Structure 1
């Protein structure tokens, strides 16, 4: 649960609304009934089956009513409604009137191809009991506190479940109920609240209700016909945040064969514990497969990629192998910023594009509580640095634990997967601004946050089996919310004229490897790898956004005897194309590219050094969501004293007025150890 959400209210009216929702726009249901076993999935041939693979756009990080931080901010969207939204339905979102009528609506301009509801498994049962009078424990002191003082109860429940900051010096510490927090066990486990009963059995039993509903919704909305229009994944979020330092993982299952209960942080407080128990549970069913996806490494204060095991010892080869096997992907971008690279803001930086959506703090507390529990961002929290550390560890251990592919997602807490456009952004809740009782005055979210991104998967067809295998092999990329189509290949035998050939893709597979894969050994000692990247601009850009591409870059990282290194190369497009934005209207100006392609050869390849290569495709500048809202409100910063307090962020020069949307491909890897 996200510590930063302290403006929380779970008034009884919202609980009542669960039973009095107005109907939403209908949307066609799958043509085959739910409950068809996924074992037939691998044999199905979809109408759009393509051996050279299609791009599918989706969101693998979505919270609904079952996540405490979403629910207590007024989110009452169910997993069923969330999937309807992903498929194109118009959805009412909070706040609501006393009669249950939504005051705002949202709808995607283009449906998604796939999605996964990933509610926080922690507190599933605790909240179910405290909000359902059918349970005997409904009137337990903690539950009465939960209903009477939701803001403080939210903090208390999170302190119990996932490890919020040390609040001993804050007024919150004066709350008497804080003194009843259970002690952490010797094994690091977190005992559940007293009303959960011996071993937490009552809450674990109650957790079955939300988990069953999540599974059922995924089952109902998975299109098992040959149309293959929409794919769901059963998933959840494992939510560990010791002292508010983010270690969260989304867990995605390949099929509907999943554990009867999702393993949560309370019982399994380390990633290694999570992988071990998931392995054990999935061994009971050969069709149960999973992967975990860490997110917001930018807010982990150095912990996410710290190569020490659960006992504090340096990684050995077994732990490194377990991490590489179970965790092939990482979320490079979402609502709470990018985790690509730290860099510095503005011109003159070694890589000035690292300033894109860079949060100014290093853990989930953010600048709440006066910022006492957080600090400046740290370089080791960013994926580019982790990838370089992985190369170093591979030399020591023979295994690279940080061999990640990249995706993006939204982390929406409104139950609205794929709602990632800068235009008319309503906020995402969670750690951001809440719309519990009313639409927030001023900006609809905290100025440092963004609408989030999308995951893109290159797969033969839109089925769970095909998409999951693509996720596993890392033939995926992430975007900052737009929908450019990007392909990349690497190899020693790629032709120099590949961009001019009609068989770009077939030749790429024949003479190279796709994004996410490993390069083979060079055929001769003097050979150097080439990277070929093709990109097409989003054909349906946001209003006030040309959607045109500016350039393609290759980011290389490597490790040698002198340490870790990185370099950025422009390989296509024009960084000085004069593209800009009219800041009085947000109208884009200048030229750009509807399509770009480049073939680049590494000028300094050393076959004795491990390296990675990923592509960054950068669009022309466009107005940021906050700028659009400030202009719409008629805010002028010429006279700061005349700016309403709720719009003060419009004149905060710490945050840019424009953004350059982008995509990041999964790296292509080279290791001297590869055959």
Structure 2
């Protein structure tokens, strides 16, 4: 008879060693003589292990593509944390903040981009150190003397003057050598912290243009310093036109053989300009410009400290989750009041719909982007967790009054932004095959990424035509996902017979965050009359709730104890998985689909702050949040 593996495992070690030798001699099932003399078949074929031969991503890699240190001109006027400390903090080490607080992440990150501003790159550390090249310029000498005079008010006023100079058309200090030295010091540092398989230190910077209207981009390199040093950070002083940035990146790739991409962010503060239907100068959008954007901007950052930009209630009135961490009063500095017609050019969902329309007209979709979250922290610390939030900048570290601190002072006080408005987010999840710069960059290029507001929930999303309920019962849904369909960020072609696509979606809770409330699939399309349409479907949820006649789902409940800044995971689910087929599918219409995962309510950072410092905040300050994830879309194209 054939013995069980349990029986074999109890044999002496020398017998198991013999089995290992036999296994190595052949790829087929082997027969051999047992000690009793009988012939037993005990070895399985070579593909017994379900993990053998897998080449698809096994887990999401967590990181931040948008972090500033003392090297950024604005951050450097307040924070003293260096680029080295930023990498150490991201890797899980404890650091001391600018004002002496001890800080550490609950869990290390897998990758980080220190994306300091390109404008006058490295100026503040050079100024404070009395760098000879900077002091050789008249403005540099004047600023240095003011900062080191021992007059705190003068130092503050000078710092504000330096930050304000970022709005000038020409740099007040034009010193290419100083920028080159700062850039090369950074790329060398990133290479020294880059440890393939353990931690990826991705080289990058932020191109900060149209400051008030926030057309900013983070530029990421696939390569190390050998290639990155063949260029320099492209800044608004080179051009305020993002189209010129894309041309600059194209020239870099052609000249060096390297690869680079850009991630736009905070369209919610652009007053309609981030996803405009026109070119930067207001002229008609051309195929060439649309193609450049599609080539160099495969991702968008829909959530971070300065609010959430996935959807807006004015644009999506039927979406009860659209009004989340909304900043919609004005542009970034409060100088231009927001008008309703601007909103369509600011939010990710509307941009995805606009992209389908543009593709019908130009043959290319400039807004075919995936999702990735980031912090935009200017503290040198990538802190996106609600109970570990260190805010936008080091000028106001955690304390009893930072919730009411004036973050953005607008000419109209009603448009000013106060500390409580800041969001403790977000994070980027990348489905890369390994933790290397190259694999993470490649995953970003194919848009196999998702954004969260800070939680580290695991999310899978696949589209195809042949998913079954059995696939949703699997403990490894990605097996069917990659075999039968395309992952998030992918493209679906029309199926024979015009069958509707179906989707396999799975979410696993963050072990230290809230349980899961529901998974929704958001669909956008252009109808037969050319109008932009959208619909949010609840596809799987926790508990025994039932959809109403409009497809809406009752609330999951709320276990948050605001006074003690805690909650219980007695509602919600630890994981959710399902297959879903579009019931309203028209094979002749282009469409996109993405998944949105919602957690049960948990305490917001303001609740933790109130408890720690024993303070009471006004009723208008939100104390509860619902963490969420947005996957990259899957696009359907007819024909």
TM-score normalized by the length of structure 2: 0.81
Residue of structure 2 aligned with 1:122, choices 119, 122, 130: 119
Q: Judging changes above 3 Å, is the alpha-carbon distance between structure 1 residues 529 and 108 closer, same or farther for their aligned structure 2 residues?
A: same
1:375 matches 2:353: no
Structure 2 equivalent of residue 521 of structure 1: 494
Is 2:178 the counterpart of 1:206? yes
In structure 2, relative to structure 1, the CA distance for the partners of 1:292 and 1:137 (3 Å cut) is: closer
Tell me what 2:625 maps to: 659
The answer (yes or no) to whether the contact 1:79–1:213 under 8 Å persists in 2 is no
In the superposition, relative to structure 1, how do residues 135 and 388 fare at CA in structure 2: closer, same or farther (>3 Å)? same
TM-score of the superposed pair, with normalisation by structure 1:
0.77
1:262 correspondence with 2:233: yes
Structure 1 residue 135 and structure 2 residue 132: aligned?
A: yes
1:167 counterpart residue number: none
Q: CA deviation at 1:623?
A: 1.0
1:113 maps to 2:110: yes
Q: 1:565 aligns with which of 533, 536, 541?
A: 533
Q: State the match for 1:63 in structure 2.
A: 68
Instruction: Please say if residues 488 and 533 of structure 1, whose CA atoms lie closer than 8 Å, have aligned partners that are also in contact.
Output: yes
How well do the aligned residues superpose, as a CA RMSD in angstroms? Answer: 2.4
Aligned counterpart, 2:332: 364
Which of 395, 403, 406 is the matching residue for 1:443? 403
Query: What is the rounded CA distance, in whole Å, between the counterparts of 2:68 and 2:404 in structure 1?
Result: 18
1:88 aligns with 2:92: yes
Task: Provide the rounded CA distance (Å) in 2 between the counterparts of 1:568 and 1:135.
Answer: 59
Residues 444 and 51 of structure 1, relative CA distance in 2, 3 Å threshold: farther
1:481 is displaced (CA, Å) by: 0.6
- For these two proteins, the number of residue pairs brought into alignment is 549
Cα distance in 2, alignment partners of residues 235 and 48 from structure 1:
35
CA distance in 1, matches of 2:134, 2:609: 45
CA distance in 2, matches of 1:342, 1:550: 21
State the match for 2:431 in structure 1.
Answer: 458
- Find 2:576's aligned residue among 568, 585, 596: 596
How has the CA–CA distance of structure 1 residues 156 and 507 changed in structure 2, closer, same or farther, with 3 Å as cutoff? same
Deviation at 1:376, TM superposition (A): 5.8
1:219-298 mapped onto 2 (5 Å cutoff): 219-224=191-196, 228-242=197-211, 244-256=212-224, 257-258=227-228, 259-286=230-257, 288-298=258-268
Residues 413-562 of structure 1: pairs in structure 2 closer than 5 A? 413-417=378-382, 419-429=383-393, 434-435=396-397, 441-443=401-403, 446-525=419-498, 527-541=499-513, 547-560=514-527, 561-562=529-530
Q: 2:558 aligns with which of 579, 586, 590?
A: 579
> What per-residue deviation string (whole Å, max 9, x for no partner) do you get for residues 79-134 of structure 1?
11111111110000021xxxxxxx20110111111111000010226546643434
SS in 1 for 2:557: coil
1:376-431 deviations in Å (ceiling 9; x for gaps): 672420001111111110111111100010000111111112x111114222317x
Give ranges in structure 2 of 5+ residues lacking alignment: 1-50, 148-153, 406-418, 543-553
Q: Secondary structure at the match of 1:309?
A: coil
Deviation at 1:580, TM superposition (A): 3.0
SS in structure 1 of the partner of residue 540 of structure 2: strand
Q: In structure 2, what is the Cα distance between the partners aligned to 1:452 and 1:503? A: 29
Alpha-carbon distance in structure 2 between the residues aligned to 1:374 and 1:311: 21
Would you say the 8 A contact 1:50–1:460 is kept in 2? no
Query: How far apart are 1:439 and its partner, in Å?
Result: 5.5
Q: By how many angstroms is 1:265 displaced?
A: 1.4
In 2: Cα distance, 1:310 partner to 1:455 partner: 28
With CA pairs under 8 Å and 6+ residues apart, which has the higher RCO, 1 or 2? 1
Shift of 1:158: 4.4
Conserved? CA contact 1:553–1:571, under 8 Å: yes
Paired with 1:134 and 1:158, the residues of 2 have a C-alpha distance of 19
Larger Rg: 2
Gap change, CA 1:48 and 1:275, over 3 Å in 2: farther
Q: Which residue of 1 aligns with 2:171?
A: 192
Q: Does 1:327 align with 2:297?
A: yes
Paired with 2:201 and 2:614, the residues of 1 have a C-alpha distance of 42
Runs of 5+ in structure 1 lacking a partner?
Answer: 1-46, 96-102, 164-180, 182-189, 367-371, 542-546, 637-649
Pair 1:443–1:496, CA change in 2 (3 A): same
